[in-house]
Structure 1
Amino acid sequence: MSDPHPARPSDSKEDKRTFFQKIAEFIHPGPDSKAELIETLADAEDNDIIGPESRVMLEGVIRMAELTAGDVMVPAPRMDLINIDSPMDVLMQEVIDTAHSRFPVYEGERENIIGILLAKDLLKLQRAPELNIRALLRPASFIPESKGLNDLLREFRGNRNHLAVVIDEFGRVAGLVTIEDVLEQIVGEIEDEFDIAEDEGDIFGLADRTYRVSGDTSPERVAEAFGVPINPSDEAQAFDTIGGLIAHEMGHVPRRGEHIELAGLNFVVLHTKGGAVRWFKVSPASTEDASG
């Protein structure tokens, strides 16, 4: 026979908090907003409950919830794309110069992206030269600019595709975003072999008597360090970074391996990221191995 007085749903869950816990929560309620939660994390760091790196990462997770693919993407004009119709030697050189692991591939117009090429897949051509480059392409993932980074990270983890092409509201290619772009919102910039600590300076000497110069260094600082006047060809232009000035003088977004002579100095592009030069190798223009 059924119970004539069944327990209500609320009665089936026991509140295991003690009386004192309830009083404490009444007096000091938890955070009601993301801003308050971030302040709570700062207090936790001050009280040595969590370390500074943990606080930064937790704040990154919280703030990431408000970001979209459009906020962190590499804009379309700065994307490194591969033309499916390029001769193999040209294609290989582009892969080597840009040093990415994945490339969107287009046919005809840059808007017409037909797949993703993994640099490591090109090794298959050495064993099977007759293999068509189209056979190496992997499906491209297209996402809207408005896609939240939380959802995007979940997709990256689920489909193991670490690059997505971002589409604007009109269906045009707006840019691309990688799993590294997303993770950097949590852990900060992911360093690579070209990154150095900030306190090591933006200009420093190398063993071969050349110098490595950060693309973010001001032209004035470079001019002072090398004792030469550095001025743009268009005197009406002003540049905050040597990378911006070099890009202006080249007339296009610099690629790895390109070089230009300016003010008696040879600037060789060592590393780019997001369409901007991260590092130059600089030496007097008369140095024979300046492009090494």
Structure 2
Amino acid sequence: MQDHPSGAKFSDTKPQRSLFERLTALISPEPENRAELLEILHDAHERSLIDADALSMIEGVFQVADLSARDIMVPRAQMDVIDLNKPIGEWMPLVLKTAHSRFPAVDGERDKVVGILLAKDLLRYYADESFNPRDMLRPAVFIPESKRLNVLLRDFRANRNHMAIVVNEYGGVAGLLTIEDVLEQIVGDIEDEYDLDDTEDNILSIKDSARGQRWRVKALTEIEQVNETFGTDFPNDDVDTIGGLVANHLGRVPHKGDVFEMGGLRFEVLRADARQVHLLMVTRIPPAPAETQ
């Protein structure tokens, strides 16, 4: 290999930083924690060095590391399952209505998940008179409520799984998660042709043995629906959604981790990006104990 004029081999040379770059490094040292890094990224966004979508995805990656399965799972009560003890004709309408690609298969009750049935495998039902859905089941993957989403995403990719059943500390089924649920924390909501404008899952009730009753609320939920659910009286004169009301209350775009009280409810921001809030956790504020005379 030909020597570099300076005496060092070309492969060993490193690009020399300019005087300005070295002075900037001295004045603005590297970030020492995540908060400082995010502050730099927000500053880069304000100076149009990165766009809002890129900033949102970077923030989503950080949020995935902070969230656990219990934070975004579909609660047990809202799971669409098929009961293998029932005739196919009884649960086939559910398969057609929901249009999911896979379903947890249970043996009589929701705590007895025996496998995962892919909707495409049901095509054989119409061609084979001896079709038995139990023969089509794929193994179910069970995870604890505390499993971190970044670890779960890595497991999904490594094992080529798309769905996991979340279990509580007693081994009972608490809910389910799909790889799409995890990816949506990074890239935002993923909608397909089967995603309808349905308000049923805007507010999901979560029973947590450790923290009591909570509700996971989408920020795009209309204030009227929030008022009906929680018995509140939030105004909808200026904004239509609870996310807009939260932003007005804080006077800025909400940040992930923000916790505040409003209208007798405690709000925690579960997911937000540089432009808007996406997901909230809501709990009722217990009434103050009556003073004794």
TM-score (normalised: structure 1): 0.61
Tell me: CA distance 1:96–1:171, structure 2 relative to 1, closer, same or farther (3 Å).
same
1:126: how far off?
2.0
Q: Which residue of 1 aligns with 2:69?
A: 69
1:191: how far off?
2.2
1:186: how far off?
0.6
Q: Which residue of 2 aligns with 1:127?
A: 127
Tell me: CA distance 1:153–1:79, structure 2 relative to 1, closer, same or farther (3 Å).
same
* Secondary structure of the structure 2 residue equivalent to 1:57: helix
Q: Which residue of 2 aligns with 1:49?
A: 49
* Deviations 1:249-268 (CA, angstroms, capped at 9, x unpaired): xxxxxxxxxxxxxxxxxxxx
Q: How does 1:190-229 map to 2 (within 5 A)?
A: 190-193=190-193, 194=195, 216=222, 218=224
Matched, 1:157 2:157: yes
Q: Which residue of 2 aligns with 1:109?
A: 109
Q: How does 1:7-22 map to 2 (within 5 A)?
A: 18=17, 20=19, 21-22=21-22
* Secondary structure of the structure 2 residue equivalent to 1:153: helix
Q: How does 1:95-106 map to 2 (within 5 A)?
A: 95-106=95-106
Contact 2:226–2:232 (Cα < 8 Å) also in 1: no
1:17: how far off?
6.2
Q: Which residue of 2 aligns with 1:184?
A: 184
What are structure 2's unaligned runs of at least 5 residues? 1-11, 198-219, 235-293
Contact 1:219–1:239 (Cα < 8 Å) also in 2: no
Tell me: CA distance 1:178–1:219, structure 2 relative to 1, closer, same or farther (3 Å).
closer
* Secondary structure of the structure 1 residue equivalent to 2:66: coil
* Secondary structure of the structure 2 residue equivalent to 1:65: helix
Tell me: CA distance 1:88–1:34, structure 2 relative to 1, closer, same or farther (3 Å).
same
- Taking the aligned partners of 1:216 and 1:124, their CA distance within structure 2 comes to 42
* Secondary structure of the structure 1 residue equivalent to 2:105: strand
* Deviations 1:205-252 (CA, angstroms, capped at 9, x unpaired): xxxxxxxxx98472699xxxxxxxxx99xxxx94889xxxxxxxxxxx
Q: Which residue of 1 aligns with 2:259?
A: none
* Deviations 1:106-158 (CA, angstroms, capped at 9, x unpaired): 11221010000111110022222212110111000011111111111111112
RMSD: 3.0
- Taking the aligned partners of 1:215 and 1:142, their CA distance within structure 2 comes to 31
- Taking the aligned partners of 2:14 and 2:25, their CA distance within structure 1 comes to 14
Q: Which residue of 1 aligns with 2:3?
A: none
- Taking the aligned partners of 2:164 and 2:182, their CA distance within structure 1 comes to 11
Tell me: CA distance 1:66–1:96, structure 2 relative to 1, closer, same or farther (3 Å).
same
1:46: how far off?
1.2
- Percent identity (aligned): 47
Tell me: CA distance 1:183–1:107, structure 2 relative to 1, closer, same or farther (3 Å).
same
Contact 1:219–1:240 (Cα < 8 Å) also in 2: no
- Taking the aligned partners of 1:126 and 1:163, their CA distance within structure 2 comes to 26
Amino acid corresponding to residue 218 of structure 1 in structure 2: E
Q: Which has the larger radius of gyration?
A: 1
Tell me: CA distance 1:175–1:54, structure 2 relative to 1, closer, same or farther (3 Å).
same
Tell me: CA distance 1:22–1:154, structure 2 relative to 1, closer, same or farther (3 Å).
same
Matched, 1:136 2:130: no
Tell me: CA distance 1:39–1:195, structure 2 relative to 1, closer, same or farther (3 Å).
farther
* Secondary structure of the structure 2 residue equivalent to 1:131: coil
* Secondary structure of the structure 2 residue equivalent to 1:86: coil
- Taking the aligned partners of 1:220 and 1:174, their CA distance within structure 2 comes to 24
Contact 1:69–1:166 (Cα < 8 Å) also in 2: yes
- Taking the aligned partners of 1:41 and 1:195, their CA distance within structure 2 comes to 35
- Taking the aligned partners of 2:154 and 2:221, their CA distance within structure 1 comes to 33
Tell me: CA distance 1:51–1:220, structure 2 relative to 1, closer, same or farther (3 Å).
closer
Tell me: CA distance 1:24–1:220, structure 2 relative to 1, closer, same or farther (3 Å).
closer
